[in-house]
Structure 1
Amino acid sequence: MSAPRYLLGAAACIVALVAGWHQLSLGRSPAVMPSPAETLTAWWGLLVDGTLAVELAITLGRAAAATGAALVVGVLIGWAASVSAVADGFLAPLRAILQGLPPIVLIVCLVLWFGSDPAITIVVTATVMTPLVAAATTAALRAVDPHLRELAAGLRLSRTRRIMFVIGPAVLPPIVGAAGAVASGAVRVAVMAELLSAPDGVGAAIAQARTLLQTPELFAWALTIISAALVVDVAIRFLVGRWSALFSPGEGAVSARTPADTKSR
């Protein structure tokens, strides 16, 4: 894929979206449809007075905590389902409930039971994201080449070496992909949960902007959270991708063990 052409296509799409947004805002009140310029002005005001940084940091912190919990619990559930048919059957109804339960229902129930508590945001977000990690982990473990497992057993590799050099390289890429999707999705779910259950964060700021009919601020928060979700997704994929490369033997390692005076015959 050509990077310049890809960037050109992305830029063209953004320009088209902004132009369409501008056309829709013509002749309309900012309380109904603010223009891109009015939204940018509102965003700059939130940035200057520090509101944007404070509320965004709170939301991203909750999303990060929920993502960590979802990864840990999801990997454990996925591993259990892949090694035991009994565990897989036992967990199947739980996975179905978590996948089919609308987040808004869970939020409303938790608010009714525990009141407005910022911890609700973390619980809801982790609950929604866990099935994605579990499904990716189960599929990845079941897809490990059985011949590689047999080879590792024949070589009498320790459990740690099997995980690092056989199972890890096969399982890590799907989990990395799931981690990026879970992290960006956690940001969006966290905002929705904050909208109904938290006194602070981006969701609470959106609720306040909606109540006061500050639509430019509402649009500014929406653009902020979209951008944050994209940045989080790209950053996690990059960092975990670099880390996972440590487990893959590179050409340098092979060439380093080849005698310098070896000649082709």
Structure 2
Amino acid sequence: MDALKKIIKDFPKFLWSGWGSIAAIFLFIAAWDVGNQIYGDMILPSPLQSFQSVLELFKDKEFLDNLSITIDRVIVGFGLSLSIGTILGLIAGFFVTASVASRPIITILMGMPPIAWIVLAMIWFGMGDMTVEFTVFVASMPIVFIGALQGTRTLEDKFEEMADTFKVPKLMKFTDIYLPHIFSYIFPAWVSALGMAWKIVVMAELLATSDGIGAALAMARSQLDTKTALALVVIMIALLMIVEYVFLEPIKKEVEKWRD
């Protein structure tokens, strides 16, 4: 509860520190506008046209339904990867044998291209939700697993010895020593996995479903509707940035303060 109050209290300071990022975004938009003037609306619609298309899309019920479907798929796939990856990573971190046995499996999962998983999932599950959710899970789970594994494997024995010397209760040892350290590794892994899940779900929908943001992007591609395609890309990036930088980044900074 105290940590949550601290995050809320420091939130205005966090927003102020984000002016550099905002300036970078405006610089990118300026470069985008220059590209529009060079290549024309057919190749690269102007920022103004794209943002107008964004507003038009949010007035379209079909788009809102597709957006809801995509978010649901992200929640299911990412939720599975978060829960299973965290549990297995903690187990592998606390037990050396499990860590050694899991290493080649995680290497295979990390090295497998997401497009290959999409093709296999289409064969195994057909065209639908299961294909997308499975691909999101299998692509993002190793990231969560590695974060949990590193968090447990990097626990320093001297802190545990000091706690034992002062006869610290087990519950306090877990909440004040183990949990902050492990969570400072797991939470950034969750953030990275969320970004991966968002990208993978759109890719899988583009190839394997007839609904969702990815399917809408495929439709815009088939109709050579560059303006709508770019508007969809803007929406996908904006939603991810809002979740990551407005909601998750302040929490991440708070849980990593112990490193300083």
Q: Would the alpha carbon gap of residues 40 and 157 (structure 1) be closer, same or farther in structure 2, given more than 3 Å must change? A: same
Conserved? CA contact 1:103–1:128, under 8 Å:
yes
- C-alpha distance in structure 2 between counterparts of 1:117 and 1:181, whole Å: 25
Distance between the aligned counterparts of 2:14 and 2:52, measured in 1?
Answer: 35
With the length of structure 2 as denominator, give the TM-score of the two structures: 0.83
2:203 corresponds to 1:166: no
Q: Which amino acid aligns with 2:149?
A: T
Change in Cα spacing, 1:11 to 1:212, as seen in structure 2 (3 Å) is same
Match for 2:154 among 143, 150, 153?
A: 143
1:1-265 matches, within 5 Å, as 6-7=18-19, 9-26=20-37, 28-154=39-165, 155=167, 157-158=169-170, 160-234=171-245, 235-238=247-250
CA contact (8 A) 1:176 1:241 kept: no
How far 1:220 sits from its partner (Å)? 0.3
Structure 1, unmatched stretches of 5+, are 249-265
| Overall identity of the aligned pairs, in % | 25
Contact 1:66 1:122 in 2 (8 A): yes
CA drift at 1:168? 0.4
- Listed as ranges, the gaps of 5+ residues in structure 2 are 1-12
Q: Give me the whole-angstrom Cα distance separating, in 2, the residues matched to 1:190 and 1:232.
A: 16
Give me the CA root mean square deviation: 2.6
User: Distance in 1 between the 2:90 and 2:18 partners?
Assistant: 38
Q: CA distance change for structure 1 residues 47 and 156 in 2, over 3 Å: closer, same or farther? A: closer
TM-score by length of 1: 0.82
1:110 & 1:172 partners in 2: Cα distance?
32
| Aligned-residue offset at 1:52 | 3.7
**Whole-Å separation in 2 of the counterparts to 1:133 and 1:4:** 30
Q: How many residues align?
A: 243
Question: Deviation at 1:237?
Answer: 4.0
Q: For 1:86-145, what per-residue CA distance to the aligned partner results, in whole angstroms no more than 9, with x for missing partners?
A: 212221111011000000011011112322011211111111111111111111112222
More helix by share: 2
Q: Distance in 1 between matches of 2:242 and 2:99?
A: 35
Using the TM superposition, give the Cα deviation of residue 238 of structure 1 relative to its aligned residue in structure 2, in angstroms.
Answer: 4.1
